[in-house]
Chain A
Amino acid sequence: MASLNDYLFVSGLLFAIGLGGVMIRRNIIVIFMCLELMLAAANITLVAFSRLHISANGLPDYDGQVLVFFIITVAAAEVAVGLAIIVALYRARQTIDVEDLTSMRG
């Protein structure tokens, strides 16, 4: 059976991949997907830790799992708003490449 460390390693890897994707990819949609990866990494960590902490009655500590559901919900809301903004941007600029978003600087 996979140990806690395995879960943490995977989640860490996932987080790093997400962050790396945000840094490297130019397409805003892809960047957005990478961001979701980061949240997923956090979710895995939370669930793993939730399994680690066994409460008095022998069950996992569900606080962590509750938070996971909140995160999923919030992520959904974020995607909804985010995609709307990206669509608006595309309609205004005909591009979703981050390289083109440098009108404000300095």
Chain B
Amino acid sequence: MDTLAWLLLALPLLSAATIHLGLKKLQNVSALVSTAVAGAILFITIFLISSETTDVSFSWATLPDIEIEIGLKLDSFAKNMMLVVTGVGFLVHLFSLAYMKDDSAKARYFGALSLFMFSMTGIVLASNFMMMFVFWELVGLSSYLLIGHWYEKESAADAAKKAFLTNRIGDFGFMIGILMLWGIAGGTSAALTFDGISEFFVGKPEYSPFFLGTAVLLIFMGAMGKSAQAPLHVWLPDAMEGPTPVSALIHAATMVAAGVFMMARLYLSIGTETIEALWGVNTIPWIGGITSLLAALMATQQDDIKKILAYSTLSQLGYMVMAVGLLDPNAGMFHLFTHAWFKALLFLGSGAVIYACHHEQNIWKMGDLKSKMPITTVTFFIGTLALCGFPLTAGFFSKEGILEAALHKNMALFVIAAFVACLTTFYMFRLFFIAFLGKNRSEKAGHAKEVGVLMLIPLIALTVMALFSGWNPIGANLSPLHNEFYFHFGPALIASLLSFAIGAFFAWKLYFNAEKDPLADNKIAKIFRNKFYIDEFYAKLVTYLQDAVAAVIHFIDELVIGGLLVGGFSRAAGGVGRIFTRMQSGNLQAYASLFGLGVIIVIYLTVFVS
């Protein structure tokens, strides 16, 4: 059993390594190996879920007083999360086989995909924070590699860099948080592990709410980076430069959800009662809420099909963070679980559309896809419904949970959440109306035809999950925190239904059969379209705060430290030397006089100074 668990890590790593080292030239073999491994770990995961497991570990770094472990924490939380990762992962691999069929660097792509599977598995199964951090950074790397898959494109290369750097900023806080938490929890080897932390806090220890709160907030900074919460959200939309299956897997379903997963882990380890009393933790749901609101507003005016989905992802991640922040990790994780399926579905659907439309991504240049790609259209529509929380789809159940949580804890956030739900319906239906219905508006879209079986299988499989993953038997057994849905009739339900209706109505009103965007000239819409100018602001920040400061420091460094300070010493020595050589005038009488002076000094020093 232990070995089987290790295989979850070993197989993808092995696959990534062999592809990189040996199989680069055999493109198709690489693709198949990678896919086979993804399938294999899906099976292992299913097997592990259905059996009793014990945690395993080995020592990674042994020091006299402390030991850092690589350990697998095989509780059902992790195992079920693994199901999401491997399930979506395997389907994306399948989809990629078709989608990347003609790519010249297929091997590199699948190698990176395997590397991602390896890293993501590591995050999910990590038994301690150090290990989680290790894999946390590694998913960042694989994300970097995959976003920059088409690195010859300036925009792709820049987006990859941006993603990595933004995540680094998050990780900066994450690491500090880990270190502080480690210190607060006793500074022992155990204090790094989740088990150790929960044991420590069960014992009702003495700690400062301020510093523990700070630690939690700093750890949350890591989640902000990875789960793209404002103000570190800017990388995610840009990350859409990567191949679309990657967007589905990494930037929608799994990696970006890792932040939520990690926060849930943290909250469960420390205990929500302890967390509640800490300093500053109230900011967390607000950050989630604001992110979801901003992202939803931005999404309403995007024209790129992937960008719309990306902002929608941001918005949904904000939901999840909000739920966790409101001390209801269950709701957050449930939404993570359902969202993974239907968002992957939407992305793969958009991938199919883009593939069919010869890499056209602007929805205004599509239209009437329903008649050309009927199956895709149906699956995409079901995904849309699930995302909008149409009753009895997966999204309905999980969104309900979040609204419920907000309702009980924070009224303002509940209003925001409801409004976001309304916006979600609005922009998704806008997308659907423009791209799939109406009239065909471009030649590329005109030539579109239904994609092949290899792409349809994942779509259909995900459609099933998008429909049913929220239902009690599935949710209770397979979602990470075993969420069972209880039906409450109350404000949350009304808000949910109402916002769906309002959003759908306005979308229909404005965009059904629209030829061009009726809001194109609206000033407020323009702000939304330009993402509140946050990217521009950051670009200025980088230019002035970082590059300009760097230039100034470099200048001072060369001038003052290199030139004056040290050069000054040698010049001073040389100057004194020149004074001494000036005494060496060559004139005999001057020498004799100096002799005389010297004699007087020496006699004075010898005889008269005591």
Direct contact of A and B (CB under 8 A): yes
Binds A, one of B348-356, B484-492, B500-508, B579-587: B579-587
B592 touches A101 (CB 8 A): no
B residues less than 8 Å from A26 (CB atoms) = 589
B581 touches A106 (CB 8 A): yes
User: Is A57 in contact with chain B by the CB < 8 A criterion?
Assistant: no
A105 touches B584 (CB 8 A): yes
Interface members, chain A 50-106 (any B CB < 8 Å): 98-99, 101-106
Interface members, chain B 585-610 (any A CB < 8 Å): 585-589, 592-593, 596
B residues less than 8 Å from A24 (CB atoms) = 589
Bound complex: CA A101 to CA B587 (Å): 7
A98 touches B586 (CB 8 A): no
Shortest C-beta distance, B586 to chain A (Å), equals 3
User: Is A23 in contact with chain B by the CB < 8 A criterion?
Assistant: yes
Q: A19-B596, A23-B596 are in contact. Are A98 and B589 (CB under 8 A)?
A: yes
The residue on B at minimum CB distance from A104 is B586
B residues less than 8 Å from A103 (CB atoms) = 586
A residues less than 8 Å from B587 (CB atoms) = 98-99, 101-102, 105
A105 touches B596 (CB 8 A): no
Shortest C-beta distance, B434 to chain A (Å), equals 88
- Could you say which of A23, A31, A104, A105 contacts B593, with CB atoms under 8 Å apart? A23
Shortest C-beta distance, B597 to chain A (Å), equals 10
Shortest C-beta distance, B262 to chain A (Å), equals 73
The residue on B at minimum CB distance from A103 is B586
Shortest C-beta distance, B276 to chain A (Å), equals 82
Number of interface residues of B (CB under 8 A): 10
Shortest C-beta distance, A27 to chain B (Å), equals 11
Interface members, chain A 1-54 (any B CB < 8 Å): 19, 22-24, 26, 31
Bound complex: CA A26 to CA B589 (Å): 8
B residues less than 8 Å from A98 (CB atoms) = 587-589
The residue on B at minimum CB distance from A99 is B587
Interface members, chain B 563-589 (any A CB < 8 Å): 581, 584-589
Bound complex: CA A105 to CA B586 (Å): 4
Bound complex: CA A19 to CA B587 (Å): 16
Bound complex: CA A98 to CA B589 (Å): 7
Shortest C-beta distance, A60 to chain B (Å), equals 27
Bound complex: CA A24 to CA B587 (Å): 12
The residue on A at minimum CB distance from B593 is A23
Bound complex: CA A67 to CA B586 (Å): 34
Shortest C-beta distance, B469 to chain A (Å), equals 92
Shortest C-beta distance, B603 to chain A (Å), equals 12
Q: A19-B596, A23-B596 are in contact. Are A106 and B589 (CB under 8 A)?
A: no
A101 touches B584 (CB 8 A): no
Bound complex: CA A102 to CA B581 (Å): 14
Bound complex: CA A103 to CA B586 (Å): 7
Interface members, chain B 449-484 (any A CB < 8 Å): none
Bound complex: CA A105 to CA B596 (Å): 20
Q: Which residues of B contact A (CB under 8 A)?
A: 581, 584-589, 592-593, 596
23 A-B pairs with C-beta separation under 8 A: A19-B592, A19-B596, A22-B592, A23-B589, A23-B592, A23-B593, A23-B596, A26-B589, A31-B588, A98-B589, A99-B589, A101-B586, A101-B587, A102-B585, A102-B586, A102-B587, A103-B586, A105-B584, A105-B585, A105-B586, A106-B581, A106-B584, A106-B586
Q: Which residues of A contact B (CB under 8 A)?
A: 19, 22-24, 26, 31, 98-99, 101-106
Having A99-B589, A105-B584, one finds 16 other A-B pairs with CB under 8 Å, namely: A19-B592, A23-B592, A24-B589, A26-B589, A98-B588, A98-B589, A101-B587, A101-B588, A102-B585, A102-B586, A102-B587, A104-B586, A105-B585, A105-B586, A105-B587, A106-B581
